Amino acid sequence: MSDPSAPPATRPSLLDIRGLSKSFGTLKALDGVDFTLGEGEIHALLGENGAGKSTLIKVVTGVFARDAGTVRLAGREIAPRSAKDAVDAGIATVYQEVNLLPNLSVAQNLFLGRQPTRFGVVREGEMKRRARALLFDYGLDIDVGAPLSSYSVAVQHITAIARAVDLSARVLILDEPTASLDRHEVEILFSVMRKLAERGIGIVFVSHFLDQVYEICDRVTVLRNGRLIGARDIADLPRIDLIRMMLGRELAETTHERAASQPDTAREVCVSFKGFGKQGYVAPFDLELRRGEVVGLAGLLGSGRTETARLVFGAERADSGEAKIGGKAIRLNSPRDGAGFGFGYCPEERKTEGIVADLTVRENIVLALQARRGLHRPLSRREQDEIAMRYIRMLDIRPPDPERPIGLLSGGNQQKALLARWLATSPKLLVLDEPTRGIDVGAHAEIIRLVRELCEQGLALLVISSELDEIVTYSNRVVVLRDRAHVEELKGDAVEVSSILAAIAADTAPAHEAAS
């Protein structure tokens, strides 16, 4: 493994990407990424949210313009400027949400925009005949005259793939194709993928199901924070090493010393959950959150971290178990309930669930406090200004202008303003979902410092992060999740990157049983 990104000698290279970079403002979404796909290879592209997978796909398929780097397809340099350019060049993409027209028939979808015609009239019969023949190749024998929406998601996916490949694709990019498929449908999809690979088509497979990656893929490329971590043959890559590549260590800017550990029992319990869960969302769990303590939630994407956070705050309604404060059961059915008990929640999706982009920094900061005070007790403009300025100074929000629409701030400063929104309510518990995602390195270190300071001031914190080093830095306890269940709780000296990794990668036998 001297040069991990070199293609395996056996396969001629089909798609060859070198030094690809793309920035959005100050944020580097892709930073000099290399990627090589061989002919007839099924190649997994892995990474957590925000690692740069979708940006890579969008740059290669011409949705975004690249800042630097080259893309070669079969030795010829290409620079698609739209999705159509990319298709013409031979790169087709099928997204998780099938991009077809559900109200049209399967045949119409397959031949949309290139229907066989005679004297300008579409030849329905001919089109259906060809559509049938085409899908027969994929092991589907269905009525191609029926609307696409009358078929399962798997059939819709295969239709999308058949259309893409029939448009003379040499590279097929599948973005999370299995997320909404059941096991049997996944099998059908995989057999189609294998067939296509035999015909020499290179397939890029994006997924967060590691079992599936091990089942179908030849090679894997891992991205993290927009950088290439490495490319390996899947056969020589133990699962724990793969997870380490995805979550691994890199946090040069922050101090690595662990938070001083005190005996947990000395701390006052802020809120406790017993058998708390929701069917099909996250399995019932027990959790105690104490004042002056940070509890980290670790696990892969889709393991139930965000789901746990939302249940704890009340953003989602639990259907089993109970939550208690000071020994008394509480009703936790809405964010309003949560906020009423002194909980705060900074969601992962800052833009869609956090900020109100058009409103000013001041209005965004006072929002939660005002909502809690109620309509009839408005904060005067002077109080609002005071609160906004206090937190702008305390958290060093830039530019320090409370009247600026928050949408114009950088990601890191938006995150700080959202923290300020909850700090202004003097919360007892803060739930932070990926507080450092998508923000630059400087702000990253500051947020981590803040988490620790808040903890020292006696707040209870529940923090989710994909960066294990970060979690280890500030957590007193770490809860590890897998397959939407809490599987392990690490305390004291056991809070280490290696033990978290081991817990995440631990025996996945149940998943395999379900697969067979």
Partner 1 sequence: MTLRIPRRGMAQALALIIILMIDRLVSPQFFNLHLQDGRLFGSVIDVLNRGTPVALLSLGMVLVIATGGIDLSVGAVMAIAGATAASLADTHSLPVVIASALAVGLACGLWNGILVAVLRIQPIVATLILMVAGRGIAQLITEGRIVTFTSPDLVWMGNGAVLGLPTPVVIALGMLLVTAAVVRGTALGLLIEATGGNARASELSGVGTRAMILSVYVWCGLCAALAGVIAAADIMGADANNAGLWLELDAILAVVIGGTSLFGGRFSLVLAVAGALIIQAMNTGILLSGYPPELNLLVKAVVVLAVLLAQSPRLGDLSRFTARWRRTK
Residues interacting with partner 1, by CB under 8 A?
313, 315, 335-336, 338-340, 345, 347, 352-359, 363, 366-368, 370-379, 381, 421
In the bound state with partner 1, the residue whose beta carbon lies nearer, of 110 and 339, is: 339
In the bound state with partner 1, the residue whose beta carbon lies nearer, of 212 and 306, is: 306
What minimum distance in Å lies between the beta carbon of 365 and partner 1?
11
Token pair, residue 60, equals 């290669």
In the bound state with partner 1, the residue whose beta carbon lies nearer, of 129 and 372, is: 372
Q: Could you give the CA distance from residue 15 to residue 315 in angstroms, rounded to a whole number?
A: 44
In the bound state with partner 1, the residue whose beta carbon lies nearer, of 355 and 472, is: 355
Burial of 500 (C-beta count, 10 Å sphere; 0-12/13-18/19+)? buried
Cα distances from 56 to residues 92, 165, 223, in angstroms, run: 14, 21, 10
Q: Could you give the CA distance from residue 219 to residue 237 in angstroms, rounded to a whole number?
A: 9
Which of 301, 300, 324, 285 shows the shortest CA–CA distance to 488? 285
In the bound state with partner 1, the residue whose beta carbon lies nearer, of 414 and 473, is: 414
What minimum distance in Å lies between the beta carbon of 360 and partner 1?
10
In the bound state with partner 1, the residue whose beta carbon lies nearer, of 172 and 366, is: 366
What minimum distance in Å lies between the beta carbon of 419 and partner 1?
13
Please give the DSSP secondary-structure letter assigned to residue 41.
Answer: -
What minimum distance in Å lies between the beta carbon of 335 and partner 1?
5
Token pair, residue 96, equals 């998780």
Token pair, residue 90, equals 């031979």
Please give the DSSP secondary-structure letter assigned to residue 248.
Answer: -
Token pair, residue 252, equals 């040069």
In the bound state with partner 1, the residue whose beta carbon lies nearer, of 192 and 355, is: 355
What minimum distance in Å lies between the beta carbon of 447 and partner 1?
19
In the bound state with partner 1, the residue whose beta carbon lies nearer, of 213 and 366, is: 366
Token pair, residue 451, equals 């988490």
Residue 378: alpha-carbon gap to chain centroid = 38
What minimum distance in Å lies between the beta carbon of 312 and partner 1?
13
Q: Could you give the CA distance from residue 388 to residue 364 in angstroms, rounded to a whole number?
A: 9
Is the Cβ–Cβ distance between 515 and 211 less than 8 Å? yes
Q: Could you give the CA distance from residue 230 to residue 200 in angstroms, rounded to a whole number?
A: 24
Q: Taken in order 127, 129, 132, 134, is the CA torsion positive or negative? A: negative
Is the Cβ–Cβ distance between 448 and 473 less than 8 Å? yes
In the bound state with partner 1, the residue whose beta carbon lies nearer, of 76 and 376, is: 376
Please give the DSSP secondary-structure letter assigned to residue 257.
Answer: P
In the bound state with partner 1, the residue whose beta carbon lies nearer, of 316 and 467, is: 316
In the bound state with partner 1, the residue whose beta carbon lies nearer, of 328 and 377, is: 377
What minimum distance in Å lies between the beta carbon of 198 and partner 1?
46
What minimum distance in Å lies between the beta carbon of 344 and partner 1?
9
Helix axes 441-456, 411-423, angle to 10 degrees: 20
What minimum distance in Å lies between the beta carbon of 461 and partner 1?
17
What minimum distance in Å lies between the beta carbon of 371 and partner 1?
4
Cα distances from 70 to residues 18, 19, 59, 206, 226, in angstroms, run: 5, 7, 11, 21, 16
Q: Could you give the CA distance from residue 464 to residue 435 in angstroms, rounded to a whole number?
A: 8
Token pair, residue 316, equals 């989602």
What minimum distance in Å lies between the beta carbon of 349 and partner 1?
9
Number of residues in the chain: 516
